[in-house]
Amino acid sequence: MSRKQKKVLVRIIVAAALCTVALMLPIDGLWKLLAFAVPYLIIGYDVLWGAIRNILHGQVFDEKFLMSVATIGAFAIKEYPEAAAVMLFYQIGELFQSIAVGKSRKSIAALMDIRPDYAVVTRDGEEITVSPEEVEIGEILIVKPGEKIPLDGEITDGHTTVNTAALTGESLPVDKAVGDKVISGSINLSGVIRLKAESRYEESTVSKILELVENAAEKKARAESFITRFARYYTPCVVIGAVLLAVVPPLFFSQDWSAWINRALIFLVVSCPCALVVSVPLSFFGGIGGASREGILIKGANYLEALSKIDTIVFDKTGTLTKGTFTVNEIHAENITKADLLSIAAAAESYSNHPVGESIIRAHGGKIDKNRIGEVKELAGMGLQANVDGKTYFVGNGALMDKVNADWQDCHLAGTVIHIAESNKYLGHIVINDEIKNDSKDAVLQLKSLGIKNTVMLTGDSESVAQNVGKAVGIDCIHSELLPAQKVEKVEELLSHGCKTAFVGDGINDAPVLSRADVGIAMGALGSDAAIESADIVLMDDKPSKLPRAIKIARKTMNIVRQNICFALAVKAIILILGAFGIANMWTAVFGDVGVMVLAILNAMRAMIKIK
C-alpha cells in the first residue's frame, strides 16, 4: 500500500470512529450537526475542494460534484449521519479503486523492470560504466551474472544462461554461447560474457517494447469510449433530473419539500457513474497487464476487444507454424556437380538473411569469395537474380524458372525446392525442409475448441510443402505459392465475407498482411523490429500455443467488462426508481453507488488472474 493510500485509510478509520461516537451521543440540534460535520470534513475535504476547483475550471458535472451536492443537501435537511456515511463510503470505494489500479500496474511494472540502468563498455582497454543510450553500434559490452543485458548484440566471448521471462513469459533459462544473439532486457544468469552491440538503445528490442507498453493505455476500446461519452452526457442529465424531482412535486402538487429534496439527493448519490468510469478501464488495464506477464504484448484496449471477436485465424507458415530452421536434405544437379550447384546457390544467397538462404550457406560450409559476386537483385515472391563469376544465375521457385524460360522439372520429394538456372539453362534444384513446431497442432486444436470457425494458411511455398504442413497441424484451408500482394488479397477476401480475421506471422516480411487484418499478430518477435512496429499484438516467443491463451484473456476481459456495465446499470436503475417513489433511503443509495463500485472493481481485478 502506498503512502497516499495509508493516509486515506487513516482518515477513513478516524472518520468512522468519530461517526460511531456521534451516533451514541445523546445530543441534538447544533451539537449533532457539529458532531457529524467533523468526521465529514476529515474524510471529505479533498472531495469538496476537488469539486470547487473543477467548477472554477469549467468542469462542473463530475462525480465529486455529485457527492458534494448530495452530502451538503443531506446536511441541509438535517440527515447528518447519512451525509457523513455517504462521503465515508465513497472514500472507501475510492481506496478500493486505488488499490486495484496499483495491483494492476504492478503487472505492467514487472515488464517495465526490463529497462537496463547502465552498460559496461570497453573503451581504450578500460571498462567504463555508461548509460545504455551512450553506447554506439559495434562497441564491446561486458555483462556479469545477475545484470540485465543492455542492448541487442552477439556474444563474442564467454557462455552463459539467459533469463527471458520478463519478455516471453517463459520461465526456463536459455543457454547462450559465442556467436549467439542476445536480447536487451533479458538477464544474464551465470557466466561473464562479452557482446558486440548491434543496435543503439533507441532501436533495441527493450526500448521498442517499453514504448509499446507505455502507449497501450492511449488506444481505447469501443466500450471505454462509450463509457466516456456516456458519462459526459449522463451526469448533467442526472443533475437536471434531481432538480426536477426536488422542485416539481412540491411546487405543482403541494407535496412536502423535505421529502422530495431527500428523494432528489438519493437520486444524485445513486446516479454517480463511478462504477462504470472506474471498472471498465480497470478491466482492460488488468487484461493487458495479465497478458504481458505471459509474454503477450497488446498495444491497446481496442485490439484486446477486437481479438475477443475473432472467428478466423490466418497463419503464415515459415517461422509461425514451422520452426523456420531449414536444412538442405537433397541436391539434384543436371550437367553440373552437386558441389558446384551448391556453391553457385550459396554465392547468390550470401547477402540474404532469409532462413532458406541461410540454410544453403550453412550446407555449403566453406568460405564464400565475395569477389566472385556481382549485382544481386531480389525478385519479389520468386527468388534472386545474381551475377556470379561474370555469369547470370537465377535462384528461386518454379515461377522464376518459367519467367526465364528454363526447362525445369519439379521434385518428387516433399520440401521447399530451390531451382537454379544459368540464364535459361536449367542446372538443377536443392531440396530444403523446415520442421513443424511441437505445439502447432495443439494450438490449432485449442483454437477450434474456442469456436474459431476457420483456420487458414497462406504461404509462398510450393503446393506439396504447404499441404504436408497444413494437413499435419489441422489447418482447414491452405493457399500456396502466393506472392506478398496475393496474401493481402486472400485476407481481403475473407474480410469481404464478414469474417473477423486475425493474421499471425513472423512480422519480418508480412507487414502488409499484418496491417490489413482486423488484428495483426506477430509471433517469435524477440529482436524483430518489423514485428513490434507492424503488429497490433506481439507474442514475444515462437510458441503458437500463446495464441489461444491470448484469445482466452481477451474474451475473459470482455466478459468482465460486459458484466460490470450490465450489473451497474441494472442496480442503479432499480434504486433510482425506488428512490423516486420514496421506497429507497440514503443507505440504499450508498450501496447503489459505492457498493456497486466496489463490487465492480473486485470483478475487474479478476482480469489480472492468470487463466489456467
How do residues 202-219 score in pLDDT, each as one tens digit? 777 667 666 665 565 555
| Domain 323-435: top CATH class | alpha beta
pLDDT value at residue 208: 66
3-state secondary structure at position 475 = coil
Average pLDDT over residues 344-362: 84
Asked if 142 and 127 count as a contact pair (C-beta separation under 8 A), the reply is yes
Least confident of 71-75, 360-364, 553-557: 71-75
* Amino acid 112: pLDDT: 52
User: At the top level of CATH, which class does the domain 119-150+152-198 belong to?
Assistant: mainly beta
Whether residue 278 is predicted with pLDDT greater than 60 in this model: the reply is yes
Distance CA 160, CA 152 (A): 16
pTM above 0.85, yes or no: no
Beta strands, E only, 397-476 = 416-422, 425-436, 454-458
Which positions ≥6 away from 136 have C-beta within 8 Å? 197, 200
Give the helix, strand, coil percentages of the chain, each rounded to 5: 55, 20, 25
In angstroms, the CA 469 to CA 321 distance is 8
Q: How far is CA 434 from the centre of its chain?
A: 29
How far apart are alpha carbons 160 and 166 in whole angstroms? 18
Q: Which three cell numbers stand for residue 127?
A: 571498462
CB of 199 closer than 8 Å to CB of 279? no
What would the mean pLDDT of 339-353 be, rounded to a whole number?
A: 87
pLDDT tens for each residue of 81-93: 878 887 887 788 7
What does the pLDDT read at residue 527?
A: 45
Residue 407 · residue 456 · CB < 8 Å: no
Instruction: Tell me what the mean pLDDT of segment 322-333 comes to.
Output: 84
Distance (Å, whole) CA 356 – CA 491: 25
Calculate mean pLDDT across residues 451-458.
94
pLDDT at 500: 93
Where residue 100 falls among pLDDT bands split at 50, 70, 90?
A: low
Residue spans per domain, the chain: 3-109+217-285+555-608, 119-150+152-198, 323-435
Q: CA torsion 132→135→137→140, rounded to 10°?
A: -100
Average pLDDT over residues 486-498: 91
The rounded distance, in Å, linking the Cα atoms of 228 and 48 is 23
| Averaged pLDDT for residues 231-239 | 74
Mean pLDDT over 515-527 rounds to 78
Residue 326 banded pLDDT, cuts 50, 70, 90: confident
Mean pLDDT along residues 406-419: 84
Q: b/e map of 23-43 (b: 16 or more CB within 10 Å)?
A: eeeeeeeeebbebbebbbebb
Catalytic residue among 316, 510, 542, 593: 316
For residues 332, 335, 338 and 344, what is the CA-based torsion angle, rounded to 10 degrees?
-110
pLDDT over 70 (residue 223): no
Distance CA 273, CA 269 (A): 10
User: Residue 137: what residue type?
Assistant: I
- Distances, alpha carbon 113 to alpha carbons 143, 185, 186, 210, in Å: 17, 8, 10, 9
CB 469 within 8 A of CB 321: yes
C-alpha cell at 114: 526490463
pLDDT on residue 298: 85
How would you classify residue 9: left for phi > 0, otherwise alpha for psi between -120 and 50, otherwise beta?
Answer: alpha
Residue 36: phi and psi, rounded to 5, are -90, -20
Residue 109 or residue 403, greater confidence: 403
Annotated active-site residue 316? The verdict is: yes
Cα dist from 390 to 343, 366, 440, 577, whole Å: 15, 21, 44, 89
In angstroms, the CA 548 to CA 524 distance is 15
Mean of per-residue pLDDT scores for the chain: 83
Higher pLDDT, 271 or 394: 394
